[in-house]
Structure 1
């Protein structure tokens, strides 16, 4: 197809006229875009510093900063296309409709989102705490917006939805900094009760990981039909709890055996 040189010249001239007429809008729109992107990053950094200085929770700081970042980016994009001369009212209406549709289809996710906000604000636990919730005992690795990431004692990673987590019972083993281990040692009625008590208490006081305050306790818990049951209760720092638990079981059994005191086969620990 051959094009008339005169007609081609008219097209080129018209294109140049449109470009010249539109160039101020184009230039100003891209100036707004580039300056806006820099301003958004600057504002985001300033807000993050302010929240860190106010000692806000790191997870909450990151979450709020990310929301602010995307809100400013959307506002900047709307301003950019508006400056280009594109009608934004329909665009905003489409965004609103999309937001409503997404909200209705993600009700469960929104519940988890709300649960995450409750956890971040009220802090029933924090990263590093060992908790029991939703049938899981694990250490918290990360509190995300929709789920909480935890790791169990056997190195399994567990993701618990924040909605269920925030609405259920939570046992925080780390919040107080100290834990008490509870044991029940059952000895025969033929045993010297005072001697057995002194032996069990000595095992606790000789262990450097057992706290002096609160003081460890040993007392007769129950007189069952087949045995005298002793409650053995040492306190330990959270970091030492596991070793104190296992050492108490082992040392108490060894000490009672050496003293000739028979431990009943249904010794209970919890």
Structure 2
């Protein structure tokens, strides 16, 4: 038998071996249980978004990922602690790194915070027409950092969420029924009742204008060169732009047919000859 085996005392190393085996076993158990808990936490948080229709799935998928990774971070710290690694300095290092990353990504974090608020309060949803950050179009995507819109001339506009949140947002699709505000002017010498009758006939003939609520037609202003009628028909949201851009032409043709003058801005100048 070799000399080093003769001097080897298994009892001397047995406690250390048992301790290492125990730590490895406990570390494996901690990892298995930790991964299971983190997975359950992700599914539990995500299920909240599924339970309530008003809550956004993307937001709770993000929250679920945060919960999972936070749990896994504590799991790995616990594993390192089983092997005698000083974890206090590691925690401090992670905190310092997180602070440095947060300072470096201030703009991204502001977009993230705005995205979270947009997904919680949901002032608009995908496929709705909105006006925000000086842009108007249909919302095609909403994520935690940006909102993507499609304009009427088929442009794709990507707006950082921080530019939307905290400013005025006009949601043109929120209500099922909308009013379309238009103004038409006629000459002062035209009959008001006749003009109102022509306008009402045009509105009644339009297939997309609702009878209830009834259209609003009244004189709104006595302008410099015209009597202005405010005309507000009501329609379903999907027909808003059809009425907005078809009604002026129909109204012009009807007023012309009825021999009602539509004046253009002009100024009367009187010249006085001095003797």
TM category, shorter: 0.7 to 0.9
1:261 corresponds in structure 2 to 260
Alpha-carbon distance between aligned partners in 1 of 2:17 and 2:241, rounded to the nearest angstrom: 75
Q: Tell me if 1:78 matches 2:74.
A: no
1:13 corresponds in structure 2 to none
Q: How far did residue 242 of structure 1 move?
A: 1.1
**Pairwise mapping of residues 121-160 of structure 1 onto structure 2 (< 5 A)?**
121-160=120-159
1:11 corresponds in structure 2 to none
- Please report the TM-score for the alignment, with normalisation by the length of structure 1: 0.79
> Is the contact between residue 113 and residue 145 of structure 1 (CA under 8 Å) also seen in structure 2?
yes
1:46 corresponds in structure 2 to 44
1:223 corresponds in structure 2 to 222
1:81-112 CA-to-partner distances (Å, cap 9, x unmatched) read 33444332221111000111122223333333
**Pairwise mapping of residues 1-270 of structure 1 onto structure 2 (< 5 A)?**
22-55=20-53, 57-58=55-56, 59-264=58-263
1:118-158 CA-to-partner distances (Å, cap 9, x unmatched) read 32333333333322222111233333223323222223222
> Is the contact between residue 179 and residue 241 of structure 1 (CA under 8 Å) also seen in structure 2?
yes
What is the alpha-carbon root mean square deviation over aligned residues? 3.1
210-219 or 82-91, larger mean C-alpha shift: 82-91
For the pair shown, which has the larger CA radius of gyration, 1 or 2? 2
Where 1:154 maps in the other structure, the secondary structure is coil
With over 3 angstroms needed to count, the CA separation of the structure-2 counterparts of 1:84 and 1:236, relative to structure 1, is: farther
Alpha-carbon distance between aligned partners in 1 of 2:153 and 2:257, rounded to the nearest angstrom: 34
With over 3 angstroms needed to count, the CA separation of the structure-2 counterparts of 1:21 and 1:180, relative to structure 1, is: same
Structure 2, gaps ≥5 residues long: 5-13, 266-275
1:200-255 CA-to-partner distances (Å, cap 9, x unmatched) read 11111222321223321222222333333222211122111111212212321222
Q: How far did residue 265 of structure 1 move?
A: 5.2
Q: How far did residue 21 of structure 1 move?
A: 6.5
Structure 1, gaps ≥5 residues long: 8-16
2:273 corresponds in structure 1 to none
> Is the contact between residue 48 and residue 60 of structure 2 (CA under 8 Å) also seen in structure 1?
no
Alpha-carbon distance between aligned partners in 2 of 1:146 and 1:68, rounded to the nearest angstrom: 19
> Is the contact between residue 201 and residue 217 of structure 1 (CA under 8 Å) also seen in structure 2?
no
> Is the contact between residue 36 and residue 76 of structure 1 (CA under 8 Å) also seen in structure 2?
yes
